[in-house]
Chains A and B, each alone.
Chain A
Amino acid sequence: MARPNTKTTRRSAADTKTEVKNHLDTPEKDAIDHPKPVLWYTPAFELLQYFQRAADQWTARYVVVITALVIRIAVGLGGWSGKGVAPMYGDFEAQRHWLELTTHLPIHQWYFYDLPYWGLDYPPLTAFHSWVLGKIGGAIDSSWFALDESRGIETIGVQTFMRYSSLVSEMVLYIPGILSAVNLIAKTFKVSRMDQIVVVLIMLSQPSLVLIDHGHFQYNSVMLGLFLCSVVELIKRRLVVASVWFVCCLNFKQMGLYYSPFIFTYILSQLESVTQLVMVGATVIGTQAVILTPFLLGEQPLATLTQIVVRVFPFARGLFEDKVANFWCVSNVVIKYKTMFTAADLSKLALLATLASIIPINALLFYKLKSKRDQQTRIAAIVIGFTTTALGFFFFSYQVHEKSILLALIPATLLLAIDPALIDIVQWINNVGCFSMYPLLKRDELVLQYWVTVFMANWFVGAPRLNHHSWLWRLIMVGSYLAMIGYHVADATMAPPQQWPDLWVIINCGVAFAGFAVFYGWLHYRALQL
C-alpha cells in the first residue's frame, strides 16, 4: 500500500508559539475577561462570538447592521400594499402620491388636493419628508412622480426608488437610535457588550417593522427613529432636546400621540424648577411653530392650518376600520357598538376608556420616579411607561390600525437591554405582534416574507423558548403558541364557515389581543416592583 508522503513535519518554535497564540484567541478563553453574556446560548451569539475581542466588536456591529439592511432589501422583493389593485391601490401608492403632490403643488394646496385619492392626512414632517424624496426621485426620473399622470405607476424604477427611500430613511434615524438606546440602557444595567450586540440584532431583525416598512410599505421607521432619539435624550436627562425630537415624532405621524401621555408624566416627574418647565414648554411650542412656519408663509395660512388638523385627526371615521386585535374589535363580537352608540358617543367612550387604561400606570410610574431617584428605576420606568401607554392606546383609542402595535413593540423590545434574560417574554410578544398583522400581510402577498422573517428572528435567539421559571408563563406561552399554530393551520387549510366569513380573522384578533392583554398586565406588575 502506498503511504502518504512521510516527510516529517517541521515544527519550529515559531509554530508552537502560533499555536499558543491561536488558542488564546479562541472565544472560550477570551470570554474570561468579560462578564459572561446572558444570551451566550443563542445561535446569534454562536455566530457573533468570533468578534468577542473588544477590537473586533465594531466589526460585529457593522455586520449586524448591514445584514439587517440586506434582509430588508430582500423582503422588498416581495409584494406591497395595493400592488396592482386599481383604481385606488394601497399604502405604497399613498406614499408615492404624496411625493408626487408635494413636489408639484404650492404648499397651501398640499392638504386640499384631490382628497378622495389618497389626500395627504399625515402631519407636516411627513409632507416635508415626501417633498425631499420626491425632489430626489424626480431628478432621477421625472415620470415617477409626474402630477396626476403617475398615479398607479408600478415600474421597476419607481418601485426600487421607493424601497431604497424607506431603507435610507431607516438608516438615518432608526438604526443609530437603536444602537445608542441599547448602548445607554445596557451600560446602566451592566449588560455585557456581546449581549448588547445580540440585542441590537434582535431589535433590527424584529419582523413586524421589517414587514410593514419594507414589505407592506410605509415610513414608520422615521417616526420610531425620532421617538428613539427622544428616548436617548430622556435617558441622558436632556429634557429640552428630548422634547424637540418628540415634537418631530408627533409631526411625522400622529400615531406618536400614543407616547405623549407618558412623556408628559415623565418630564413632569423630572422637572426640578419652574424655569425648566418654561424651557420645555417653550421648546415644544417653538419646535411646533418652526415646523408649521412654511405653511404660515404660504397663502391662506389659517385655512391651511385648520385643514391640517381636520385631515390629521379624522374623527369622522369609525371606531375601528379593519379587524384589529384591540378591545373594541374583539368585544364587538358580543357587543355591537356601532348599533348601540352614535359615532360621537363612541369617540367619547373611547377617550374615557383610553384614559382609564393609561392613568393608573402613569400615576404609578410618576410616584416611582418621584420616590426613587436612581438611574435604573428611571430607565426601567421609561421603557415600561412608553410600552404600557402605547398598549393602552392600542386597546382603547379610536381608529386604531393593526400597524399601531409597532408603537408598543419597539419600546417593549428595549426591555432586553435592561435584562437580556427577559428574552423569552419579549420574543413571545414580538411573535404575537407579528402574528396580529398576518391578515394584513396575507393581503399584501407577503406570506413567504412573513414566515421567513419570523423564522429568522426566532432562530437567532433559539426561541420560542418555553422554559420560563414560572409555570403560569409557561402555560400562557404554550397556550398562545398553540392557538397561533391552530389559526395558521385553519387559515391555510379551510375556508371559514359561510355565515361567519371573518371568523379566522376574528380568531387571530382574539388570540393576539389576549397576548397583548397579558403582556400589558405583566408590565403593570413589573412597574409595581420598581
Chain B
Amino acid sequence: MAQYSLFNVWAVSLPLKLLLMGGYHSTDFDVHRNWMAITKNLPIAKWYFEDTNQWTLDYPPFFAYFEWVLAQLVPPVVKNDGALDIVATGNYGWPTVVFQRLTVIASEIFLFYALQTYINTSKTAAGKRRAYVVACSLALSPALLICDHIHFQYNGMLFGILTMCLARARSHRYVSSAFWFATLLCFKHIYLYLAPSIFVWLLFQCIGFKPVKFDWQLLTKIGLTVIAVFAVAFAPFARQLPQLLTRLFPFSRGLTHAYWAPNVWALYSFADRVLIQMYRHLPGVRLALDRYLGADITTKLSAGSELLASATRGLVGDVAFAILPTVTPAVTFGLTLFYMVLALIPLAMNPTYSRFVGAMTLCGYASFLFGWHVHEKAVLVVVWPFTFIAARDRSLLKPFSLLVSAGFVSLFPLIFTPMEWGVKVGYTVVWLMVFFVNFSKVTPVPRSTTPKSTGGVILDRVVQWYVLGLVPLVVVVTVLEVLETKYAVLQRLEFAKLMLTSVYCAVGVVGSWIGFNALYFGRDDLWNDDDDA
C-alpha cells in the first residue's frame, strides 16, 4: 500500500511561508504580540482586565496559555525589539516579525500531524488515497495561507485540533473526539457554532431508540472529559469569570463586518441599496413602496442619511436599512438556530459519522450565512468539515467547488497590498486547478444509477459559468484598484468594488448551501458510513 506522507507537502509549502514573512501583515499581528506581552508581564488575574492596547485579550483561556508559552520562548533579541511591551500600539521590528511568523509556521505542524493521523486511520487503500487528497487540500488551503501567513492568525493549529476531533470521531473514539472538541472551544469560541452537531452526535451515540439503549458509562466518560477540559481552562479565572465572558462575547458590534462577508446579509444589504436607488429614481417603485411601507421612507432616507453613508463606506458599526426591515441580533440568532436545528434532526435519527460531518457543515453554513458580525475568514469553518465529506460522492463535489471557489475569492479583499496580489491570486488558482483534478479523480461516481436530468445538466453548466465568472470579477476589481490612484472618481467607488466581490461570492456560497441542503435532506444513501467514510 502506498505511503501517503504529508512531510513532503509540508516541506514544499515551507519556502513560500518563509518568503511571505517579510510581506504585509494586518493589525492581528499586534493583537497577538499584545497578548504575548500581557501573559508574560501580568499575573493571571489581570489578563482579562488589561486594556492599554485596544486589542484586548478576547479569546478563551487556552489561547491565553498558548500565548504565555510563546512568550516564554521569546529570545532576548526579540524582547529588546519591543515584542513584550504592553503599549497602546506595538513598536516592533524585523526580529519580532520573524519570531511571530515562525510561531505560526511551527504551530501549524500540529495541523500536519492531525491530518496525517486522519490519513493513517483510514482503513482501505482507496480510502487512504482519498484521505490524502483531502488532507493535502486542507493543508495547502489558500484560506490558511491568506489568513495565517499573510494576514496573521493561528488558524492552522486550531483547525488541526478540529481535524483531530473529526479523525477520532471517524474511528468511533468518542471520548477522544469530545476531548479535542472541548479543547478547541477553550482555544477559540467561534467553534461554538459547530458545537450543536457534535453534542447531538455524541448524545445519540449514548442514547438509541432502535433498539432502545442507554449507555450511561459512555455518557459519563464524555461528560467528565468535557468538564475536566473546561475546568483546566477556566478554573484559574474563577474569580474573573464575568469579566472574561464580557470579553469573549461583546454584543456591541454591527451586523456586518467592515467588509461584508459573502453571506445572506450581504445580499440583504445589497438589496436595500438597490431599492434605495430604485426608490430615488423610479417613480413607479416609489409609489408602490410608499403604499406598502408607509410614508416614513423619505424621513428615514433623510434622517438616517448619516448612518446610511457610514454603511456605504463600509465602516464597522450599525448598519441601517432604509427600506428593508432592520435586522436585530435576535433575528440573526433565531435564523441561525433554526437552520442548525433543522440539520440536527436527521443526525439525531441516524447518527452516523458522515451524517455528523454533514450536520457540522450545515451548522457552519448557518452561522456563516445568518450570523451576527461574521468575518469573511469564518468561511473556513464551513470549508473545513465540508472537505472531509466532499470526496464521498461526485454529487457533493458541485456544492463543494462552488463553496471553495467563492469562499476563497471572497478572502482576496483581506489582502489589499499590491505586492501580495499575485501571491493570493496565483496560489488560489493553482490550488483550484490541483484539487479540482484530484478530487474528481478520487471521488466515486454517483451511486444513483438514474441518468442525469436536463435540469441537472443545466445546473452543472450554471455552476461552471459561475466559477469562471470569478475570473472577470477578479480582473475588474484589480483594474479598478490599479487605476484608483489616478482617477479620484474611482476612489469613491472603493466600497462598490468590495460590494461587488462580496455579493458575487455570496451568491456562490448561498448556492452551495442550497445544493448541499438538497443532498443532505434528499439523498439518504449518501450518509451511511461505509468502510472508509
Contacts and interface: CB of A to CB of B under 8 A. Distances in A.
Contacts of A62: 430, 433
Given A19-B126, A62-B433, A7 B528 contact: yes
B218 A74 contact: no
Given A2-B218, A140-B482, A15 B444 contact: yes
A59 B12 contact: no
Interface stretch (A63-71, A102-110, A188-196, A315-323): A63-71
Interface in A1-35: 1-2, 4-5, 7, 9-12, 14-15, 18-19, 21-23, 25-26, 28
Nearest to B215: A2
A74 B23 contact: yes
B19 A156 contact: no
A71 B418 contact: no
A56 B435 CA distance: 12
B430 A67 contact: yes
A449 B23 CA distance: 12
A506 to B, nearest CB: 30
B419 A156 contact: yes
Contacts of B324: none
Contact of B8 (A25, A46, A70): A46
B72 interface: no
A456 B15 contact: yes
Contacts of A220: none
A5 B348 CA distance: 12
Interface in B233-284: none
A521 interface: no
22 contacts: A1-B215, A1-B217, A7-B528, A10-B528, A11-B530, A14-B449, A15-B444, A15-B447, A18-B445, A22-B126, A22-B129, A46-B8, A51-B437, A73-B422, A77-B20, A77-B23, A77-B419, A159-B419, A160-B418, A448-B19, A452-B19, A455-B14
A77 B486 contact: no
Interface in A400-458: 448-449, 452-453, 455-456
Nearest to B130: A22
A163 interface: yes
Residue in A50, A163, A167 with the greatest tally of chain B CB atoms within 10 Å: A50
B301 interface: no
Given A1-B218, A10-B530, A156-B418, 8 more contacts: A9-B531, A10-B528, A18-B445, A23-B126, A43-B12, A71-B19, A74-B423, A75-B19
B336 interface: no
Interface in A63-115: 63, 66-67, 69-71, 73-78
B16 interface: yes
Closest 6 CB pairs of A and B: A74-B19, A18-B444, A73-B422, A456-B15, A2-B215, A160-B418
B426 A73 contact: yes
A67 B140 CA distance: 13
A3 to B, nearest CB: 8
A449 to B, nearest CB: 7
B441 A25 contact: yes
Contacts of A341: none
A11 B532 CA distance: 12
A376 to B, nearest CB: 34
B434 interface: yes
Interface string B313-357: 000000000000000000000000000000000000011100000
Contact of A70 (B16, B125, B449, B483): B16
Interface in B499-533: 525, 528-531
Nearest to A459: B11
B36 interface: no
Contact of A47 (B12, B16, B447, B528): B12
Given A18-B445, A66-B426, A167-B422, A5 B438 contact: no
A455 B12 CA distance: 9
A70 B427 contact: yes
A100 B486 CA distance: 18
A75 B422 CA distance: 12
Given A59-B437, A159-B419, A452-B18, A47 B126 contact: no
A502 interface: no
Contacts of A46: 8
A12 B525 CA distance: 12
B192 interface: no
A164 interface: yes
B107 interface: no
Contact of A56 (B218, B437, B445): B437
Residue in A19, A51, A77, A452 with the greatest tally of chain B CB atoms within 10 Å: A77
Contacts of B2: 26, 28
A38 to B, nearest CB: 19
B9 interface: yes
B22 interface: yes
Given A63-B430, A141-B485, A50 B441 contact: yes
B415 to A, nearest CB: 12
A453 B350 CA distance: 51
Interface string B396-436: 00000000000000000000011110110011011001100
Contacts of A59: 433-434, 437
Given A59-B437, A141-B486, A163-B419, A2 B174 contact: yes
A50 B352 CA distance: 31
Nearest to B174: A2
B451 to A, nearest CB: 14
Residue in A2, A62, A77, A452 with the greatest tally of chain B CB atoms within 10 Å: A2
B93 to A, nearest CB: 14
Contacts of B422: 69-70, 73, 164, 167
A22 B2 CA distance: 14
B8 A73 contact: no
A96 to B, nearest CB: 16
B530 A76 contact: no
B205 interface: yes
B461 interface: no
B172 interface: yes
B70 interface: no
A453 B429 CA distance: 22
B8 A66 contact: no
Given A9-B528, A141-B485, A449 B19 contact: yes
B530 A2 contact: no
Contact of A66 (B19, B21, B352, B429): B429
A12 B15 contact: no
Given A73-B422, A76-B419, A453-B15, A5 B445 contact: no
Contacts of A47: 8-9, 12
B444 A448 contact: no
A134 B174 CA distance: 64
Given A70-B422, A156-B418, A452 B15 contact: yes
Contact of B205 (A2, A67, A140): A2
B426 A26 contact: no
B474 interface: no
A298 interface: no
A22 B21 CA distance: 40
A71 B426 CA distance: 10
A496 interface: no
A70 B16 CA distance: 8
B393 to A, nearest CB: 10
Nearest to A20: B126
A159 B447 CA distance: 54
B426 A43 contact: no
A14 B2 CA distance: 24
B206 interface: yes
A163 B23 CA distance: 14
Contact of B351 (A1, A5, A63, A70): A5
B442 interface: yes
A7 B218 contact: no
Contacts of A23: 125-126
Nearest to A44: B12
Nearest to B145: A70
Contacts of B492: none
A314 interface: no
